[in-house]
Amino acid sequence: MKALVLARNGPVENNPLKFETVDDPVPGQGEIRLKVHVCAVCRTDLHIIEGELKTHQFPLVPGHQIVGIVDQVGPGSRRFRIGDRVGVAWLRHTCGQCAFCRSDRENLCEKCLFTGYHAHGGFAEFATVDENYAYQIPAIFSDAEAAPLLCAGIIGYRALKRSQLPAKGTLGIFGFGSSAHVIIQIAKHRGHQICVVSRSENHRKLAEDLGADWVGDSTGTLPAMLDSVIIFAPVGTVVPSALSVTKRGGTVVLAGIYLSDIPPLNYEKHLFYERNLCSVTANTRVDGIECLSQAAEIPIRPKVTVFPLEEGNRALQDLKADKISGTGVLVIKG
């Protein structure tokens, strides 16, 4: 099969992904194989490729927002049939035995494995996954529309749950990339007021188009204090300013898998009055099921920019340069 392969970490500007022919994967016990139609690109892919997240194997095929058709089933696999359209997300394995797995917190399992990180992902013509970690894709979404929901949507959805946002409350979104452009649609559907802070003019325009009540490039001119904030930007220096514009008892959520260092916080200014600061670590499968269900009900309409698979480096370069409004999606021909 054709695939984008990472042989060593390096700046995405240096085209570290090589378009190569590799062996087709074979589904193992309880696994399915997908003929991949699309795979969305994610900032996490950037962190893996450029080495900000430790790479666990070389060579590696990245990609963890996969939509395709089941074309093979492994021994003991009975959940899906040949021809079913399914999705594969970041979470691909948990132990199922630990206290976290037994208490609806499987995302904290110490034996978690992730797609396109611990195992080959979807920047390829075929991909395999344990059938219990695959998702049925609602018919209302095209392949390209569904792909961003499998990470950007799921992680944003979990961040929204963690935000403790009160009914009709005001939510701040700091950084307006792929995940944010999905979550604003859920939050607006629920009747929340949305304030967006982004350094990118393109992203601010998209936020306005999606119904943000206020959009700016800094917190200096926010119209009011915020009930909750979700930080999607992987920039630790944003955290103090987010806390300083959050109401007493409010919550600031760090939604990224990677964040640069947070500068020192002033206890009285930033954390006193029971302000909460919390993180998001991956997702549970329940998060994925709920997100896809609500996305179909609303329905959410992700904005996508498509690239052919062989131009994956360019897609990631555009992502890094904030040139993509919404989500970049690689299309696999065949």
pLDDT in tens, 48-70: 999 999 988 999 999 999 999 99
Count of domains forming the chain: 2
Rounded distance between C-alpha atoms, residue 57 and residue 14, angstroms = 20
Q: 244 and 107, same structural domain?
A: no
Q: 169 and 191, same structural domain?
A: yes
Q: 247 and 113, same structural domain?
A: no
With 0-12 CB in 10 A as exposed, 13-18 as middle and 19+ as buried, what is 223?
A: exposed
Tokens 């392949």 belong to 143
Rounded distance between C-alpha atoms, residue 156 and residue 20, angstroms = 33
Residue 76 belongs to what domain range?
2-148+282-331
Q: 289 and 168, same structural domain?
A: no
pLDDT in tens, 203-229: 999 999 999 999 999 998 999 999 999
Residue 207 sits in a domain whose CATH number is 3.40.50.720
Instruction: Name the band, by pLDDT with cuts 50, 70 and 90, for residue 191.
Output: very high
Instruction: Name the band, by pLDDT with cuts 50, 70 and 90, for residue 263.
Output: very high
Q: 286 and 270, same structural domain?
A: no
| Short-list 78, 262, 294, 316, CA closest to 187 | 294
Instruction: Name the band, by pLDDT with cuts 50, 70 and 90, for residue 333.
Output: confident
Mean pLDDT of the region 121-143? 98
Q: 144 and 6, same structural domain?
A: yes
What integer pLDDT is reported at residue 116 of this predicted model? 98
Q: What is the 3-state secondary structure (H, E, C) of 203-248?
A: HHHHHHHCCCCEEECCHHHCCCCEEEEEECCCCCCHHHHHHHCEEE
pLDDT in tens, 304-328: 999 999 999 999 999 999 999 899 9
Instruction: Name the band, by pLDDT with cuts 50, 70 and 90, for residue 334.
Output: low
What integer pLDDT is reported at residue 220 of this predicted model? 87
Give percent of the chain above pLDDT 70.
100
Residue 94 sits in a domain whose CATH number is 3.90.180.10
Q: 109 and 70, same structural domain?
A: yes
What integer pLDDT is reported at residue 176 of this predicted model? 96
Q: 9 and 131, same structural domain?
A: yes
What integer pLDDT is reported at residue 186 of this predicted model? 97
Mean pLDDT of the region 102-129? 98
Which is it for the CA torsion 194, 199, 201, 202, positive or negative?
negative
Pair 88, 133: CB distance under 8 Å: yes
Instruction: Name the band, by pLDDT with cuts 50, 70 and 90, for residue 39.
Output: very high
